[in-house]
Amino acid sequence: MAKPLSASKMVEILRAEGLTVHEVRSWRTHNRNSKGAWGPVNGVMIHHTVTKGTEASVNICYNGYSGLPGPLCHGVIDKKGEIHLVGNGRANHAGLGDSDVLRAVINESKLPHDNEADTDGNARFYGFECINLGDGKDPWPEAQKEAIEKVSAAICRHHGWSERSVIGHKEWQPGKTDPRGFTMDGMRKRIAQRLKGGGGGGDTTPDPKPVPKPKYVPFPGSGFFHTGRKSPIITAMGRRLVAEGCGRYEEGPTPEWTEADRRSYAAWQQKLGFKGKDADGIPGKVSWDKLKVPDV
Ligand SMILES: [Zn+2]
């Protein structure tokens, strides 16, 4: 969960990633904010345009069409791998999608199959439209795929997200097929590679920035916390819970995950205002990030 990037910051981080960025007309104030929420943002969504030609595609994404007013995304990624920013704020790109998918994106866990359209994605996702006919024949030049990787990595790095915060429209909304022509799993691998500091698919970026060591333990995933797990992370977590007045330990905390850890964590979730299943004592990404467990 995060506050959306400002227009200037978006331009800054994309250029810092080595991308060529074009600012289209009044994109900085072009949005659908009068129609609904924008943010908190949880991820990046990749699409294909089903159009050809850079100028025509950028114009459609900026203006939209009758029945679907623009902006239709935040940025268009052309075949040369250049970025055309067309919107800043809420954009008509994601539509209604699956709340279980959104939950998985927030937790950065494995995506379930999208079989519901019950959640407004336009509030939650940055959207990038890639110029491609989507017919399975129109090629995806390496420069364009590299740009998808870079755009996604730049935004994920800024927000402290992993590659799991990047999804395809087809993974969000039942019936959608975009993007078609490469797999999102393959693309996420490239993004992960880039986030680790190396370039992704064969890229050699000049000036690789050293990735600062996180001060806090990144969320290890909900599956990490189970009976029998022993880790110094669990001790560090327990100490933080005690410091927050949520310790439910008779002794400890210790490196081993126990019922006392679960009860303590549930107290923390309740303190944050979570209820029911969201306060079951199994760490989720949102509460974990708020706990700020120091790196051990
Ligand atoms: Zn789409």
Tens of each residue's pLDDT in the chain, 296 residues: 699 999 999 999 999 999 999 999 999 999 999 999 999 999 999 999 999 999 999 999 999 999 999 999 999 999 999 999 999 999 999 999 999 999 999 999 999 999 999 999 999 999 999 999 999 999 999 999 999 999 999 999 999 999 999 999 999 999 999 999 999 999 999 999 999 985 544 444 445 556 666 689 999 998 999 988 999 999 999 999 999 999 999 888 999 999 999 999 999 999 999 999 999 999 999 999 999 999 87
CA 173 vs. chain centroid, Å, equals 16
CA of 222 to the centre of ligand 1 (A): 30
CA of 178 to the centre of ligand 1 (A): 6
CA of 203 to the centre of ligand 1 (A): 27
pLDDT for residue 293: 95
pLDDT for residue 249: 93
**CA-CA distance, 144 to 54, in Å (whole number)?**
12
Q: What is the pTM of this model?
A: 0.69
CA of 257 to the centre of ligand 1 (A): 42
Rounded to the nearest 10°, the torsion over CA 117, 108, 110, 272 is: -70
CA of 95 to the centre of ligand 1 (A): 9
**CA-CA distance, 134 to 55, in Å (whole number)?**
18
- What residues have their beta carbon closer than 5 A to ion ligand 1? 47, 169, 178
pLDDT for residue 201: 45
CA of 287 to the centre of ligand 1 (A): 31
What is the DSSP secondary-structure string of 74-131?
Answer: SEEE-TTS-EEE--SS--TTS-EE-HHHHHHHHHT-PPPP-----EE-TTTEEEEEE-
